[in-house]
Amino acid sequence: MDFTPDEMMTIAAARALSNDDVCFVGIGAPSAACNVARLTHAPGITLIYESGTLGTAPEVLPLSIGDGELCETALTTVSVPEMFRYWLQGGRISVGFLGAAQLDRFGNINTTVIGPYTHPKVRLPGGGGAPEIASSCGEIFITMRQSVRGMVETIDFVTSFGHGTGGEARRKLGLTTKGPTLLVTDLAVWRPDPDSKEFTVRSLHPGVSRAMVQDSCGWRVRFAGDLEETPPPSHLELQTLRDLYARTKAAHRAQGAA
């Protein structure tokens, strides 16, 4: 089956999640990946959205983190303070899945401003749950489309801390969690170097060249010595994702969303 780069990105991200994970889900691409995992190889995964919905199993993808669909299909729904205190800060979440407007090579994320904070060129939504998701979850997966504007040498604002300037930066800050351990883009799968913590390309998606990855990334890309090719989406993975999108589109259209 033919597939798009976005489909490959979502499916490659879904594969990184396991049946035993308790996953804090960001909206957008992370939400699609988490639900594909749940509907394929990880039926037992616990998905948590910051609106307080624990163990949710949406039939269709939510448009926001607080859609009624999440509450209706959840095991239980707790208040937002309880969500952030007992469940996130309490260390009960194994994986946080985030998107990024701007990202650097050490997995630091900016979702606050483009340009200076007091006079921004673009005022972005801000941190929301991400600053503490990034520090309190066992590890962090990041997924985003590659672009030279999005993947930059220096981000304008550190909303959510990744590996800082690399190396032992997290430990020096007193962080005991792993931080970003995976970056899945529309072109490649990246993992941090064990020592420097710089994101390094571990596998290229089918049909992608090293030059394509470098041309759409604002920092000088490092490639692993044993660079692999990402296995293409299986029929089941692709069908599951497409069915999910089709159900989502139909449901939101029926509810009046154009």
Strand, helix or coil for residue 249: helix
From the list 43, 75, 86, 123, which residue makes contact with another protein (rule: CB under 8 A)? 123
Mark residue 27 as left, alpha or beta (left: phi above 0; alpha: psi -120 to 50; beta: remaining). Answer: beta
Residues binding another protein: what is the number (CB under 8 A)? Answer: 60
From the list 7, 50, 104, 186, which residue makes contact with another protein (rule: CB under 8 A)? 50
The burial of 127, by beta-carbon neighbours within 10 Å (0-12 exposed, 13-18 middle, 19 or more buried), is given as middle
Residues of this chain, 204-233, that bind another protein according to CB under 8 A: none
152 binds another protein (CB under 8 A): no
49 contacts: CB under 8 Å, gap ≥ 6 = 24, 25, 27, 56, 62, 65, 66, 70
Q: What tokens were used for 57?
A: 């199993």
From the list 24, 141, 157, 190, which residue makes contact with another protein (rule: CB under 8 A)? 157
Choose one: 131-139, 144-152, 199-207, 226-234; the region binding another protein (CB under 8 A): 131-139
Q: What tokens were used for 199?
A: 């994101």
Comparison of 236 and 257: residue with beta carbon closer to another protein: 257
Candidate list 7, 50, 69, 198, residue with the active-site label: 50
From the list 1, 20, 43, 126, which residue makes contact with another protein (rule: CB under 8 A)? 126
Phi, psi angle pair for 191, to nearest 5°: -130, 150
Residues of this chain, 87-116, that bind another protein according to CB under 8 A: 88-89, 108, 112
CB-based contact 235:221 (threshold 8 Å): no
From the list 55, 120, 138, 231, which residue makes contact with another protein (rule: CB under 8 A)? 120
Alpha-helical segments (H) within 74-194: 80-82, 130-136, 169-172
50 catalytically annotated: yes
Residues of this chain, 170-199, that bind another protein according to CB under 8 A: 170, 173-175
Distances in Å between the Cα of 50 and the Cα atoms of 91, 139, 206 are 15, 17, 34
Strand, helix or coil for residue 11: helix
The structure tokens 């993992």 sit at: 191
From the list 63, 152, 212, 224, which residue makes contact with another protein (rule: CB under 8 A)? 63
Q: Note the residues at the interface with another protein (CB under 8 A).
A: 27, 50-53, 62-68, 70-71, 77-81, 83-85, 88-89, 108, 112, 117-132, 135-136, 157-161, 164, 169-170, 173-175, 252, 255-258
